[in-house]
């Protein structure tokens, strides 16, 4: 049974997925490479990174992705470092 994402968290999941994708690309890693290092399928990673799909995922997956990117999980959640200041 898929858990519905609350509307107020929708943009947070999108931003997190975009952050993961941006860092992965900056590191020159393919989705296949990151997925293998994070012990998830490429399709799961693709759905996390896709801005048109809201895909909630576990803390374990978040930690695995962070470890594979060699970044703190908290830094993935604090996406302001990728945003331009207004």
Q: What is the CATH number of the domain that holds 12?
A: 1.10.260.40
Residue 45 is part of which domain span? 8-79
Tell me what pLDDT residue 23 has. Answer: 94
Q: What is the mean pLDDT of residues 24-40?
A: 97
Other CB atoms within 10 A of residue 68 CB: 21
| 84 is a domain residue | no
| 86 is a domain residue | no
- Domain count of the chain? 1
CB 55 within 8 A of CB 13: yes
Q: Which of 70, 84, 68, 80 is nearest to 16 (CA)?
A: 80
Tell me what pLDDT residue 4 has. Answer: 65
For residue 83, is pLDDT > 90? no
| 3 is a domain residue | no
| 58 is a domain residue | yes
């Amino acid at each position: 049974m898929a858990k519905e994402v609350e509307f107020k968290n929708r943009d947070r999941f999108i931003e997190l997925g975009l952050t993961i994708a941006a860092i992965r690309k900056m590191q020159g890693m393919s989705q296949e490479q990151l997925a293998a290092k994070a012990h998830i399928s490429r399709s799961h990673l693709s759905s996390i990174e896709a801005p048109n799909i809201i895909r909630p995922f576990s803390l374990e997956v978040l930690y695995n992705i962070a470890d594979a990117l060699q970044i703190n999980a908290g830094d993935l959640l604090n996406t302001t470092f990728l945003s331009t200041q207004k």
